[in-house]
């Protein structure tokens, strides 16, 4: 990219990177069936029959002011709503296709127009989701996999008929009828050519140069402004250096489903958001309103409760930068601002003293974000030159001051500077993530290597951590020996499924975390160490795989767990 273009790109995404939290809204004709947004394809409903649902679609309860109010109370800064999903039904007044909410329903209002006005009033950015490749209503849309094969013959399709006569004109309408649009959220670009996706980006920019575009505009590589992670996927530290966003469901569906009552709690929303923000990402959290135009009560309840926490702790969320530590911390997460560090401590890890390794700055003052008087907490800072090791200790009051996660503010001398080596954590564990390894392939052997620092020597169990898709048979994936070399000691074993962690915060449905204990090693000295792992499951550097396309078993990391502290 040219320097000038790069500067423009950095400028236009600034608001979004500061925003951190957005509302996704999946709302369409499918709401009338209350079985999610894929119902047309799942039940192979013929176009003529599906069109009939429009004659009964009358979301009289729709109230733009209320919806925008829910987003505001949740602490969300932008709204991305489905202007058209895969069913091809436009949720706005389209002049190029009658299959839209104004022309085809008794409702006759344009909810996008009402939302645009309300968002303007309440100071929140309106953004549109547009299914640019999949369209089950149009006879000529062509996707790599997901086509309407129950009405149309794939061989008779002429893609550019769809592309030039429907997709592009509708995108133009969305960019010209509703004022400034924060971003366009494209999805499922499978099969779209590089040339067509590039032209689409130019096309969007020609109407609104500042409108952001997500990465799903093209199949690969990312030619958008930011990386959309897989649905519900939270990446590991350092997987993505550029701007990124996790689209997430509040239950297990996007479009309204009357069967789905598996709701995330406010606590889990807060934790996931903090985790995402500490890794430099945004959270786009979904609601699926009903055919009457109501955001399900349970969604509103969870969002409002989460919003109360965010309102109290917004200083440590909005406009912050990612944690400078290249690994996850055991007690929570970190965000930073100039001369400031925020420690997001999970309440169950709250204790008399919190320890942080590797912060090089002098801490001028530490206090609780919840304390309006900003009273100083007692701190100690020490440095061990022989192993170049910084330790900060903060004495904490007996009770955690907030719900779920309580935040400590550190005022620093200068901007945060940390030791970016991997090191043993306060508990004595060492976590080595695959994304940070030096990997090599030689003579059909794949090897990953890490350097790290030991501060508390001793005996350790070596544990291999994998994410495993539900219903996957472990033995189908590990039948070769895995080798580990560390401090002159070697281990060689076929990993077993020793421990299955179903509700691991590190991964989401459809994955669970599996631990395999490979053996025991002894580390006698403090200081620098290295570990080499040989295993056929070692992957090239992370590549933006969508979660449903990823392999059944993913090797994520290797851990050293001190045996006396387990
Ligand atoms: O809009 C939401 C989904 O409808 C959309 N992306 C999010 C944001 C999406 N479109 N395609 N896909 C996701 C991937 C396809 C997933 C599938 Fe399935 C798995 C198709 C068939 C199996 C899930 C289960 C969807 C239908 C059945």
pLDDT at 269: 96
pLDDT at 541: 59
The rounded Å distance from CA 286 to ligand 1 centre is 14
With a cut of 70, list the residues of the chain below it in pLDDT: 1, 540-550, 565-566
For the Cβ of 225 lying below 6 angstroms from any atom of ligand 1, the answer is: no
State which ligand 1 atom lies nearest to the alpha carbon of 85. 1
Pocket perturbation via mutation, ligand 1, pick of 39, 86, 187, 219 by most ligand atoms within 8 A of CB: 187
Q: Please tell me the distance from the alpha carbon of residue 46 to that of residue 205, in angstroms, as a whole number.
A: 36
Q: Please tell me the distance from the alpha carbon of residue 108 to that of residue 122, in angstroms, as a whole number.
A: 24
State which ligand 1 atom lies nearest to the alpha carbon of 247. 8
Cα angle 158, 31, 246 (rounded to 5 degrees) comes to: 80
The rounded Å distance from CA 219 to ligand 1 centre is 15
The rounded Å distance from CA 224 to ligand 1 centre is 21
Pocket perturbation via mutation, ligand 1, pick of 23, 38, 470 by most ligand atoms within 8 A of CB: 38
pLDDT at 373: 98
pLDDT in tens, 282-311: 999 999 999 999 999 999 999 999 999 999
Q: What Rg value do the Cα atoms of the chain yield, rounded?
A: 25
Pocket perturbation via mutation, ligand 1, pick of 147, 188, 245, 508 by most ligand atoms within 8 A of CB: 188
Q: Does an H or E element contain 450, and which?
A: strand 445-454
pLDDT in tens, 214-253: 999 998 788 999 999 988 888 888 777 799 999 999 999 9
pLDDT at 566: 47
Rounded to 5 degrees, φ, ψ at 168 are -65, -45
Please give the model's pTM, rounded to 2 decimal places.
0.94
Contact 508, 469 (CB under 8 A): no
pLDDT at 547: 47
The rounded Å distance from CA 17 to ligand 1 centre is 26
Beta strand segments in 29-182, E: 78-84, 125-130
State which ligand 1 atom lies nearest to the alpha carbon of 41. 26
Closest CA to 134 of 201, 24, 40: 40
pLDDT in tens, 430-459: 999 988 899 998 888 999 999 999 999 999
pLDDT at 271: 94
The rounded Å distance from CA 42 to ligand 1 centre is 10
Residue whose CA is at the smallest distance from ligand 1 atom 11:
188
pLDDT at 546: 46
For the Cβ of 247 lying below 6 angstroms from any atom of ligand 1, the answer is: yes
For the chain, what percentages of helix, strand and coil (3-state, to nearest 5) are there?
25, 30, 45
pLDDT at 565: 54
Residue whose CA is at the smallest distance from ligand 1 atom 12:
188
For the Cβ of 231 lying below 6 angstroms from any atom of ligand 1, the answer is: yes
For the Cβ of 87 lying below 6 angstroms from any atom of ligand 1, the answer is: no
């Amino acid at each position: 990219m040219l320097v000038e273009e790069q500067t423009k790109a950095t400028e236009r995404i600034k608001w979004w990177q500061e925003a951190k939290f957005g509302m996704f809204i999946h709302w369409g004709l499918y709401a009338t069936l209350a079985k999610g947004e894929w119902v047309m394809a799942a039940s192979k409903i013929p176009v003529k029959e599906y069109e009939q649902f429009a004659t009964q679609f009358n979301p009289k309860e729709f109230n733009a002011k209320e919806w925008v109010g829910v987003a505001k109370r949740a602490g969300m800064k932008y709204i991305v709503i489905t202007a058209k999903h895969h069913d091809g039904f436009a949720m706005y007044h389209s002049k190029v296709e009658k299959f839209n909410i104004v022309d085809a329903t008794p409702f006759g209002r344009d909810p996008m127009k009402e939302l645009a006005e309300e968002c303007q009033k309440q100071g929140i950015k309106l953004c549109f989701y547009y299914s640019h490749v999949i369209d089950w209503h149009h006879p000529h849309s062509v996707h790599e996999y997901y086509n309407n094969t129950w009405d149309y013959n794939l061989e008779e399709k002429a893609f550019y008929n769809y592309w030039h006569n429907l997709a592009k004109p509708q995108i133009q309408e969305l960019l010209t009828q509703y004022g400034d649009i924060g971003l366009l959220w494209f999805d499922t670009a499978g099969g779209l050519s590089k040339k067509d996706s590039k032209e689409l980006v130019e096309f969007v920019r020609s109407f609104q140069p500042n409108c952001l575009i997500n990465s799903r505009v093209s199949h690969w590589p990312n030619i958008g402004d930011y990386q959309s992670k897989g649905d519900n996927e939270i990446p590991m530290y350092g997987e993505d250096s550029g701007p990124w966003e996790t689209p997430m469901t509040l239950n297990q569906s996007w479009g309204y489903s009357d069967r789905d009552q598996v709701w995330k709690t406010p606590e889990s929303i807060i934790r996931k958001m903090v985790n995402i923000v500490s890794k430099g990402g945004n959270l786009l959290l979904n609601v699926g309103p009903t055919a009457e135009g109501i955001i399900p009560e349970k969604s509103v309840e969870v969002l409002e409760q989460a919003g109360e926490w965010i309102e109290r702790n917004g200083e440590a969320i909005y406009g912050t930068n990612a944690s400078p530590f290249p690994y996850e911390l055991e007690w929570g997460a970190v965000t930073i601002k100039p001369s400031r560090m925020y420690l997001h401590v999970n309440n169950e890890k709250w204790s008399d003293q919190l320890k942080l390794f590797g912060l090089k700055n002098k801490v001028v003052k530490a206090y609780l974000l919840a304390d309006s008087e900003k009273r100083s907490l007692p701190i100690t800072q020490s440095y061990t030159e022989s192993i170049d090791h910084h330790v900060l200790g903060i004495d904490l009051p007996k009770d955690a001051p907030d719900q779920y996660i309580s935040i400590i503010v550190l005022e620093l001398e200068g901007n945060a500077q940390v030791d970016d080596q991997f090191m043993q954590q306060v508990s004595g564990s060492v976590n080595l993530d695959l994304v940070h390894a030096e990997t090599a392939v030689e003579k059909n052997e794949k090897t990953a290597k890490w350097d790290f620092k030991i501060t508390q020597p001793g005996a350790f169990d070596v544990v291999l951590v994998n994410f495993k898709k539900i219903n996957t048979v472990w033995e189908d994936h590990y039948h070769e020996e895995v080798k580990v070399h560390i401090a002159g000691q070697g281990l060689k074993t076929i990993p077993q499924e020793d421990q299955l962690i179903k509700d691991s915060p590190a991964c989401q449905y459809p994955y669970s975390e599996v631990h395999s204990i490979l053996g025991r090693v002894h580390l006698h000295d403090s200081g620098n160490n290295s570990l080499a792992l040989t295993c056929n499951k070692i992957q090239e550097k992370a590549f933006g795989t969508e979660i449903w396309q990823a392999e059944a078993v993913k090797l994520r990391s290797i851990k050293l767990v001190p045996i006396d502290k387990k």
